[in-house]
Structure 1
Amino acid sequence: MTQSNRFKSLLEVVNHCDDFPLPGKDLKAYTARVNSLYHFKVGRDTTTLGFVLPEVASKVGRCSGWDINNKSVPKTLTLSGGHDHDSRSEIIRATMMHFKHKRTFGVLEKWRSELKPCYGPTGSVLFSIERAAFPLLGIVAYGVMLVAYTRNGQGGIEGLWVQRRSRSARTHAGLLDGTAAGGVPIRKKPFTTLMSEAEEEASFSRELVARRARACGTLSYFHTRRKEMGGEVGLLQPGVHFLYDMEVPEDVQPRSNDTNVEGFELMAPDRLKWEILAGNVKPWFALAVIDFFVRHGIIHEENERDFVEISMRLHRHLEFPVFGVSFLTNLLN
């Protein structure tokens, strides 16, 4: 492993994944960036649901059911049409289908026919939106991440089961990813999503995952889309991932069951850290691994200079409605 590293430290990796300006570190840069974007809102509610690039807002704002205000501070893009989940979702669908057919936005070339929710300030689902389209509006995406791992004879972490994404995958082709991961669709709970993704990507039975997987918190970050993600560069993508660990014995091994997964490798922590610093790991999986390292004592205050900042940065406070979001009940509104 002689390749030079892309990143000099794990904190640099965190900064790369969570790259939207932080108000606590540089308020001037944060304010300037926020005021350069359009704030996405629904109806008369003043809550900002996402940040939208000007070149996107100018096109969406001309569509039926939308209003754009270039004179307010901050500037706003408002979904003014619709009065409930279904009517708002239909306006969103018609708008995005129009742009898809016109081939206006490259990100829509990866249309998946999979709906994701947009939550309001009270946690209700305001509308559903095609998965490929949600970065255009800058709304929070919710996902799940499973890390399966084994222990050695001394009880320490022997290795993490890491998937290699297919070289022809739609995004992050060829990079390392979690044992299983995916976005949480509309009307599905995170753990149900996890079981589906583990079965689809790693051939883990639902019974195995239900018995062995353990919820261990969340990640939150604010990422700017780059070239390797496909589509428009610079779209804003805040995200929350629900994390799950699953200790497995040596005779339980993941097997590829998905065309987007090239294969799996049991990777020792030191090797995986090297891969992260080399830039060979999908951004949010890199954060998930760092969180795993923190929780399992692989990195700590005596061997990682930036331990305190890293630990705090894995749980970014997002400017959008997240605190009211609950999966206890059906919150369609």
Structure 2
Amino acid sequence: MAKSNLELVRECDNFPYYEDNRAAYTENLQNYYSFRVTGYDATLGYILNTVVDTFPWPKNCWSIDPAARTVTLVSLPGANAAQRSKLVAQSIADAVKQGNFELLKGWRNEMYPVYGPGGEFLLEMERSASPLFGIVTYGAHMTGYVDDPSGPKIWVPRRAKNKQTYPGMLDNTVAGGMCTGEIPSECIVREAMEEASLPESVVRANVVPRGCVTYTHVRDARAGGETGLIQPEVEYVYDLKLDPSVVPQPCDDEVEEFKLLSVSEVKEALSRGEFKPNCANIMIDFFVRHGILTPENEPDYLEIVARLHRRMDHPTASHCK
């Protein structure tokens, strides 16, 4: 059965809303512990119960409180981000040796930041471990398109079939996670070169920032590794109008091919569920911003637009220079 635009948005932003059903939301939270850091009155992420039960929490730096349902990183007063990060890295290394988490077998050698109240940088952790802690992660997605008399044509890549996450699914033209200290625009420039062989000069001269898409996703089997993990994400959105002579080409082993698709072809692929869930969100956002999806042709327009911009439950950071 064809998926509607609202169904696609809900598939990505699929963590319950407190306002929709307070009792169900509260009951659902019993499946998770709150991730906290000593000295900060904030929940930094949600950790699945089975992860809490399985992860090797060193007693010298972690406090587990079943009654309060909290997992707290314990550090000395005045500890800095580097010291906290070292404690977390040692704990994750122990978990890798333990071998009980499929997710950690996809080690990325990339560090993701964790922010506290007011956007304070508290620590960083290995990217592959971030879903285990349920922290907010950040990325940048770009839609590359070519103007055509019939409407924009969009460069759509297909993910490699051997990728650990969402193998063989359709993606946005360029997309990637932001490492510690990276700003969105530089992430897009880097990913454009790495994934699509797009010259830095072309991207810098023509890329246009178009806002953010935010959601809280509960991972299923397609994501690879453990299921039920919470993944709140902030995706900075960019557009890049390309000359027809500029053709994206795979540059690494993550992309199988690029195809230039019409809007109707993209819509058909969306309805068939071929797009990676968050990439479907970004594509729908592109349709909204370019007047392809309107209040007059989409009955669920209001809810779609609202769900593309979810307010995060955890502290977030500004990436202003």
Which range, TM-score by smaller chain?
over 0.9
Distance 1:285 1:28 in 2: 31
**Partner of residue 180 from structure 2, selected from 186, 200, 207:** 186
Q: SS of the counterpart of 2:64?
A: strand
Q: Bigger CA drift: 209-218 or 23-32?
A: 23-32
Contact 1:144 1:243 in 2 (8 A): yes
Counting aligned pairs with the same residue, the percent is 36
Of 7, 25, 35, the residue aligned with 1:30 is 25
The residue aligned with 2:125 is 129
Any stretches of 5+ residues in structure 1 without a counterpart? Answer: none
Cross-structure match for 1:169: 163
Aligned residues: 318
Equivalent positions of 1:140-219 (< 5 A) are 140-153=136-149, 157-219=151-213
Does residue 14 of the first structure (1) align with residue 15 of the second (2)? Answer: no
- The secondary structure found in structure 2 opposite 1:132 is helix
C-alpha separation between the residues in 2 aligned to 1:163 and 1:319? 32
* Residue 326, structure 1, aligned to residue 318, structure 2: yes
Q: Take 1:120 and 1:158, find their aligned partners in 2: how far apart are those partners?
A: 41
Matched, 1:102 2:98: yes
Counterparts of 1:263 and 1:315 in 2: how far apart (Å)? 30
Task: Please report how far the alpha carbon of residue 58 of structure 1 lies from its aligned counterpart in structure 2 after TM superposition.
Answer: 2.9
Alignment counterpart, residue 230 of structure 1, candidates 219, 224, 233: 224
In 2, the alpha carbon distance for the partners of 1:217 and 1:103 equals: 39
Q: 1:169 to 1:61 in 2, by over 3 A?
A: closer
Instruction: Give 2:273's match in structure 1, choosing from 251, 274, 279.
Output: 279
| Matching residue within 254, 264, 272 for 1:270 | 264
User: In the aligned structure 1, how far is the partner of 2:83 from the partner of 2:152?
Assistant: 52
The offset of 1:131, in angstroms, is: 0.4
Query: Corresponding residue for 1:49?
Result: 44
Give the letter for the 1:87 counterpart: Q
Question: Which runs of 5 or more structure 2 residues have no equivalent in the other structure?
Answer: none
Give the superposition deviation at 1:61: 6.9
Contact between 2:115 and 2:122, CA under 8 Å: does it hold in 1?
yes
Match of 1:248 in 2: 242
Q: CA deviation at 1:23?
A: 1.4
Aligned counterparts of 1:61 and 1:92: Cα–Cα separation in 2: 11
- Over the aligned positions, Cα root-mean-square deviation in angstroms equals 1.2
Matched residue type, 1:69 = D
Q: Tell me the distance in 1 between the aligned counterparts of 2:256 and 2:285.
A: 25
TM-score under structure 2 length normalisation: 0.96
2: CA distance, partners of 1:288 / 1:36: 29
Please report how far the alpha carbon of residue 35 of structure 1 lies from its aligned counterpart in structure 2 after TM superposition.
3.5
Distance across 2 between alignment mates of 1:61 and 1:106 = 15
Match of 2:57 among 39, 56, 62: 62
Q: Which runs of 4+ in 1 moved over 6 A?
A: none
1:259-278 deviation per Cα after TM superposition (whole angstroms, max 9, x unaligned): 11001001111111111111
When normalised by structure 1's length, the TM-score is 0.93
SS for the counterpart of 1:302 is: coil
Contact 1:140 1:320 in 2 (8 A): yes
How far apart, in 1, do the equivalents of 2:173 and 2:21 lie? 36
Q: Distance in 2 between matches of 1:145 and 1:124?
A: 24
1:70 is displaced (CA, Å) by: 0.6
